[in-house]
Structure 1
């Protein structure tokens, strides 16, 4: 029997049993669509999170107090850790190839402006926020430079906070109260939106030294370091390490580059995407069981047809290929419909829920389609072998 005849016969067998074929392919359709939807959500989250991390640039190093790895020393040594200070940030800023440093303190406090008040996030920062964090001023100006040691009580409002506190009035030059201290508004930041679930517009920026006093802290929470993009991160790490060891008398701090954070996050998110793909793959497994079951039943129902084909000269290999091609046709049809349905649903999700990041993961789509064909091949082998082994006379007697 010619190859084209095998394809034609398999196609007619599938079409002649529409309900059975539809139910068989349904498992694969649902499985492939599930894989596409879940991996698209996973890939969308992956892209979204990495974009959030990289919006500040990649030539950043964060300095944190304390070592992230230890040598098993006793807990009593924790008290010997020297805190990170504003002077540490100023010292790092004087190193070669350093563009700016940003000592950071974060907390929450009540903000009062006239008869309006609300609690919000307070960021104690240096004057280099626009440069380091890539956030521009919408009106007014940011905190003045060269005042980190003994700064004046100035504040810069986030876009949303300014709108809620002053409701259309110009906030520049106005007095506000943060906790028990009074500050004068110097500027308003441009609208930035959400970053990793943190509303950058609902914040207020004050000098780091003022935040230390406000929250009764002795040290900053971290120091962000912006270095020249044409400089190797490793050389900057060595320079910062040498300086801080000299200042602290030991390595009681940790350095994390933006590239290290991105690599760690990328590996975690890849595992997430692979995990959701595996969940969708369970549906594909169910679909393979369906094909195996239906094809086994088909062999039982068509024993007389097999006997007739063998009687007119069809070889075992031909019978085997006939039933194997039927399984492949079912898996091919289910795969094509499943891919189309999955892509359509992903597009609808992106349209109906624009806030949910979705992105088609074509590698997983092609893998799911290939797996559907492999499932058809494997699930069709056992029934096809059973059909090919039937003896002509025994098969004809079942008529």
Structure 2
């Protein structure tokens, strides 16, 4: 079967470049929304997954979905701390951090509106367990004092949380002595202070969670079995990276479903726009179609040519939309984590998989919008076309 040259197809789009750009622009807007939603979902997932360390184990009360509604007594914490197989640091200290985690309401710098912020009690060992966390300003808080350090997203987004400022909560004044960067993970949205001071200030008798590092991460199942079979412990252990991956699921899934639903609704308009453009192209080129058929091009060649024209139009729109969406990676945004009801800062993240999905979505719109006009063009009779011209 003789095919119509691709250069001919592309030239037809260039000849109608104003219409082409308008239609491609409409598709680009839909593609931009589609890609941005996927990037937002992936950004949340990547932020929380990167928060965990593969060789760390996190312990929660059984049935607790998040750290803020978990509770581990001091007696249970002592039992976990004495388990075999826990790694030690250069000083011979067991790498275990017992941490209270609470929510605190703070006003935003931008508009003064309050939002929940995660406050974590930890220690120097807690910092050692999170090698991605680096102090970028100031110093570490001193044990036994009302000093705190703040994640860089908190320091830039909330009043009273920057270096040298003072926060008042839990009936105390807390001085910010340091700002840390956790490498775009969930810890950037937290405030850290001394665990025992936090316990006393918030009148807590139990820790919220424990984190420890295994000397051999392949021994996790053995450690988990030891915890599960001890009747004194009504707690469960998970790899830290798994815990934070689970934390991302609810929010990321909600954003993905809502965003994709909107994208599908918007895509109907884009498909109709592409269909109108292609119907107009067919109506303007009736004589051309008759000439092509008279020169020996079969109906299928005409159908494929017009369909390729529609696909090329959608590809242009898809590339424009994807290029525009890629710039969203430079934007910092925050939202409320459904699991903890606290502020979570993250960035949009574009991956090769998202780029492929976006282009496929764009081509699908072009195929659906261009098939009926292409079919109509292919079904035209040579005599009718030449008579109309």
Q: Shorter-chain TM-score: what band?
A: 0.5 to 0.7
SS in 2 for 1:191: strand
User: Where does residue 346 of structure 1 map in the other structure?
Assistant: 326
Once the two structures are superposed, residues 26-57 of structure 1 have per-residue CA deviations (whole angstroms, 9 ceiling, x without a partner) of 33232333333333333333322222x22xx2
Shift of 1:24: 3.0
Q: Mark the CA change 1:129 to 1:388 in structure 2 (over 3 Å): closer, same or farther.
A: closer
Contact kept in structure 2, 1:66 and 1:253, CA below 8 Å: yes
User: Where does residue 358 of structure 1 map in the other structure?
Assistant: 348
User: Where does residue 243 of structure 2 map in the other structure?
Assistant: 261
Aligned residues: 337
Task: Indicate whether 1:288 and 2:271 are aligned.
Answer: yes
CA distance in 1, matches of 2:77, 2:98: 6
Q: Which moved more, 1:25-34 or 1:336-345?
A: 336-345
Max radius of gyration: which structure?
1
Contact kept in structure 1, 2:60 and 2:210, CA below 8 Å: yes
SS in 2 for 1:380: helix
The 5 A counterparts of 1:57-206 are 57-67=53-63, 84-98=72-86, 99-106=94-101, 128-134=125-131, 143=143, 154-155=144-145, 157-159=147-149, 163-164=164-165, 179=171, 191-193=179-181, 196=186, 200=190, 202-206=191-195
CA distance in 1, matches of 2:188, 2:82: 31
Shift of 1:367: 2.5
SS in 1 for 2:375: helix
CA distance in 2, matches of 1:41, 1:353: 11
User: Where does residue 331 of structure 1 map in the other structure?
Assistant: 311
CA distance in 1, matches of 2:199, 2:370: 71
Task: Indicate whether 1:379 and 2:376 are aligned.
Answer: no
User: Where does residue 210 of structure 2 map in the other structure?
Assistant: 223
User: Where does residue 222 of structure 2 map in the other structure?
Assistant: 235
> Unaligned 5+ residue runs, structure 1?
70-82, 110-119, 144-153, 167-176
RMSD: 4.3
Shift of 1:272: 5.4
Q: Mark the CA change 1:13 to 1:232 in structure 2 (over 3 Å): closer, same or farther.
A: same
CA distance in 2, matches of 1:136, 1:299: 62
CA distance in 1, matches of 2:356, 2:79: 53
Task: Indicate whether 1:367 and 2:376 are aligned.
Answer: no
SS in 2 for 1:158: strand
Once the two structures are superposed, residues 133-172 of structure 1 have per-residue CA deviations (whole angstroms, 9 ceiling, x without a partner) of 55689768854xxxxxxxxxx2262246772359xxxxxx
User: Where does residue 73 of structure 1 map in the other structure?
Assistant: none
Task: Indicate whether 1:398 and 2:385 are aligned.
Answer: no
CA distance in 2, matches of 1:35, 1:268: 19
SS in 2 for 1:192: strand
Contact kept in structure 2, 1:106 and 1:122, CA below 8 Å: yes
Contact kept in structure 2, 1:6 and 1:322, CA below 8 Å: no
Shift of 1:205: 1.2
Task: Indicate whether 1:28 and 2:27 are aligned.
Answer: yes
Q: Mark the CA change 1:27 to 1:271 in structure 2 (over 3 Å): closer, same or farther.
A: same
TM normalised by structure 2 equals 0.68
Once the two structures are superposed, residues 36-89 of structure 1 have per-residue CA deviations (whole angstroms, 9 ceiling, x without a partner) of 3333333333322222x22xx2333333345459xxxxxxxxxxxxx7432322
Q: Which moved more, 1:83-92 or 1:190-199?
A: 190-199
CA distance in 2, matches of 1:158, 1:359: 30
User: Where does residue 75 of structure 1 map in the other structure?
Assistant: none
TM normalised by structure 1 equals 0.66
> Unaligned 5+ residue runs, structure 2?
66-70, 87-93, 105-116, 151-160, 334-344
CA distance in 1, matches of 2:200, 2:17: 77
Shift of 1:369: 1.9
Shift of 1:337: 5.0
